[in-house]
Amino acid sequence: MNDQLIDNFGRQITYLRLSVTDRCDLRCTYCMAENMIFLPRKDLLTLEELEELCGAFIARGVRKIRLTGGEPLVRRGLMGFIQNLSNHLDRGQLDEITLTTNGTQLSKFAKDLKSAGVERINLSLDSLNRETFQKLARRDALDQVLRGVEAGLEAGLKIKINTVALKNSNADEIPQLMEWAHGLGMDMTLIEVMPMGDINEDRFDQYLPLTAVRDQLEEQYTLIDTPLRTGGPARYIKVEETGGILGMITPLTNNFCAGCNRVRVTCTGQIYMCLGHSDSVDLRGAMRGENPQEALETALNRAMINKPEAHDFRINRDGTTPSVPRHMSVTGG
Domains of the chain: 15-161+259-331 (3.20.20.70)
Distance between CA atoms of 152 and 113, rounded to whole angstroms?
Answer: 9
pLDDT band at 319 (very low <50, low <70, confident <90, very high): very low
The answer, yes or no, to whether the previous bond of 70 is cis (omega within 30 of 0) is yes
User: Which residues are registered as beta bridge partners of 6?
Assistant: 12
Compute the distance between CA of residue 151 and CA of residue 264 in angstroms, rounded to an integer: 29
pLDDT in tens, 230-268: 666 789 999 999 999 999 998 654 555 666 888 999 999
For 70-126, how does the pLDDT look when each residue is reduced to its tens digit (9 = 90+)? 999 999 999 999 999 999 999 999 999 999 999 999 999 999 999 999 999 999 999
Residue type, 222: T
Supply the DSSP symbol for 141: -
Nearest Cα residue to 28 out of 192, 164, 168: 164
Q: What is the pLDDT of residue 45?
A: 96
